[in-house]
Amino acid sequence: MEQKVLRVSTLVVVSALLLRLLGGFLPILPSQAVSVILFLQTGRLVRPGNITFTPDAADPPELTPPPTDATQPEQQNPEQALPVFSAGDASLLAINSSFRYEADLPALLTQPLTWELAADAPTVLILHSHGSESYAPTGEYAEISPYHTLENDHNMISVGEYIAQRLEAAGISVLHDTALHDQPSYNAAYNNSRESARQYLEQYPSIQLVLDLHRDSIEDAAGNQVVQTVFAGDQTLAPLMLVVGTDYSGLDHPQWRENLSLALKLQTQLEGLCPGICRNINLRTQRFNQDLSPGALLIEVGSSGNSRQEALRSAGVLAEAILSLAHGSA
């Protein structure tokens, strides 16, 4: 019996080593094989986004989910060594863009981040251009339109509040703007959020990080909601996508590469905490009000097919990644 167990164990180890060698060919392997390889390498399974979502009745409706090993940020110590990024790290990051752009990704990633978020004055602003966006319906809230609600316990305001709580618990002063900038006019959302952000930045020049939190929407050819789900242990999380605006639409935004530099660092930290949690960085021709601050990012927290609980778990990882950069980088 012991020899049989030994043979089976040896076979598993050899198989894992072979799959690690195949890891360099991930782009050409079928999605099922990629998932197996990532599981063997990281212990986390990434499921391709081609699965119609069925709401999980077990997801509790309360704001704060139970702490888990995957989402529990640790208190940061200012004396800890600052994160160091290498040019090689940039080769592990991917960007989706519909246009040709000029940016030295290794240089931007290794550029030191010179801020201090753990200060007495507010250093983080969280707002929502599309605050009414919500997740898979649970029957617990009223929709004003599909996947939109005015109930802040179930829309993007709840995700922003969760991140604000996690950051504040670690000693970071956060301003959370809970205004629904997409109401009553969805088309005026970015103009409304721009004015709010401008006023906050003028009143609190100490703000270093501006997060505009959204959720994405993914549909198949038939119009059905689909979802991309990341597994961390026995829990499912919603993927995150960092969106960086540019000046390619013709609007003034000379510092967009500073925003991209921050996105590269944050994406690297996120993937280190939970491999597979990030979709490719999305570089856009629009500027999304990011011209107001070199520390401004738009982040899609899951999609309309995800449950809000999955989004909150990913929000916990996002908070932890921000905390890892709270004192800057070397």
Residues 122/210/324/256 CA torsion (nearest 10 deg): -140
pLDDT score for 77? 52
Which pLDDT score, from 0 to 100, does residue 51 have?
Answer: 26
Q: How many whole angstroms separate alpha carbon 75 and alpha carbon 324?
A: 9
Calculate the average pLDDT of the chain: 83
pLDDT at 209 over 80: yes
| pTM summary value | 0.78
Q: Is the pLDDT of residue 92 over 90?
A: yes
Distance, in Å, from the CA atom of 231 to the CA atom of 248, rounded to the nearest integer, reads: 36
Cβ proximity of 146 and 154 under 8 Å: no
Structure tokens at 296: 């401004």
The Cα 329–Cα 321 span in angstroms is: 12
Query: Residue 285 gets which letter from DSSP?
Result: S
Intervals of CATH 3.40.630.40 along the chain: 49-324
Q: How far apart are CA 180 and CA 189, in angstroms?
A: 8
Per-residue pLDDT tens digits for 35-91: 443 333 333 333 333 222 233 333 433 444 434 444 444 444 545 689 999 999 999
Are the C-beta atoms of 125 and 290 separated by less than 8 Å? no
How far from 76 is each of 159, 205, 208, 270, 277, CA to CA, in Å? 22, 23, 18, 16, 22
How far apart, in whole angstroms, are the C-alpha atoms of residue 200 and residue 195?
9
What is residue 16's predicted lDDT score, i.e. its pLDDT?
44
Q: Poorest-confidence range of 12-26, 249-263, 308-322?
A: 12-26
Distance CA(330)–CA(91), nearest Å, equals: 19
The whole-number average pLDDT for the span 20-31 is 41
% pLDDT > 90, the chain: 73
Query: pLDDT tens for residues 276-297?
Result: 999 999 999 999 999 999 999 9
Under DSSP, is residue 295 helix (H, G, I), strand (E, B) or coil?
coil
- The percentage of the chain sitting over the pLDDT mark of 70, rounded to a whole number, equals 76
What are the pLDDT digits (tens) for 160-197?
A: 999 999 999 999 999 999 999 999 999 999 999 999 99
Question: What is the distance, to the nearest Å, from the Cα of residue 304 to the centroid of all Cα atoms in its chain?
Answer: 15
Residues sharing a CB contact under 8 Å with residue 322, sequence separation 6 or more, in sequence order? 117, 124, 163, 167, 209, 266
Tell me which fold the domain 49-324 belongs to. Answer: Aminopeptidase (3.40.630)
d(CA 262, CA 112): 10
Give the lowest-confidence range in 65-74, 125-134, 201-210, 235-244.
65-74
Contact indicator for 84, 167 with CB cutoff of 8 Å? no
